[in-house]
A and B are shown apart, each in its own frame.
Chain A
């Protein structure tokens, strides 16, 4: 059958959550059940306006609806920010590989996230929490510019920190005066003793500059390049490894990624730009 993967399925925005001054989460209900793996992404269309790639921030266990967290960064994301409940959208996907959860079994999972990079991490986190018994532990180090810039505050500042097998530490670049945690970029709260590196995997997602310095630090700690999983943000248009925009060397980020080990991509130029 000649199926048209350029054709989106219909969906509707049923709820909108303000996360920070520049970030909102949208609850999207697709017209039919929509299964995805954590870390995979969708192309979300605002009909007649444009399309952009987003990794759902919700758990893949819910196939009836998904949450998509969007930072106002360009033309299409600004238009999404103007949307109201009831807005019809188009959804293509899911695309890409997602996180290799099975490789994390019996390991300590060390998650480093920053800014809106917490969106894919939230989906991963919820997936890991469901299987926390299969893991040694989940250790999170998250950063944001200011306390207000943290997304998912309601869960992040409270319930998530109380989950057995989960340890979370937060840092902000700039305090608001009331912040009692660490002040500094997220790499300042990474420590060699956070996890048993011999039996750990690291997952990094955030702004390119943070991913670069976090990776350098993780390598310094002794993480092997094969055990550092990076969620690469590139210009992904078609989603199916053809249009070319997202290439890192021979890889199409949309099809072969967006999750890569550092080992896979370290030899190619300008990966952090």
Chain B
């Protein structure tokens, strides 16, 4: 290229890197000897550099800065001469000593802070696990409430009150039963059961054998409430509570304590 580039965009195309080798060499040889065009090229480089702003914004991870600062500290430790040079370039030696004196305790503080943060991290981890367990527990409770609500509000759910049989431990219970859902809920309380014995609830169908439907808190006699799943479509004749060996039995074997007829 003997004269100036024909068009100013050539500098931008050069800065962009779009020109082929021979075109690039022509501009380079001209710019080397022409300061006005060197200035135009510098401006074109700046203009083209702005195209970087067309990129989608991506914030760097905070760890990059952290690693960078660790790297420069490490480099200073590896090259004390560089550190000394840096110190000699500072406005005054006193300032250098002052900073060194300040950095040593700062390092100790950082180490202590790291230990504290590590412990804090462990503590927060435990708290987080506890919070998760609590949330899971609450979720289960919520699911239980929803299940009870669905059962109690269903139009096909029947309510059966169980009354104590003469001469048996005192108690009372109610059963909410839905044959189509195959679910029941029982709540009630009975006086404490004899040692190694328990109170077992039975669904007594119109046809077939009684079906086990859960247990009372036999040891304390305190109020019990539970949901139980039974085969769907069973037509109930009654619900009964019997005294059975601890752990329950597949079929009723003991005397009836509470009985309620399904109407």
Do A and B come together as binding partners?
A: no
Chain B positions near chain A (C-beta within 8 angstroms): none
Chain A positions near chain B (C-beta within 8 angstroms): none
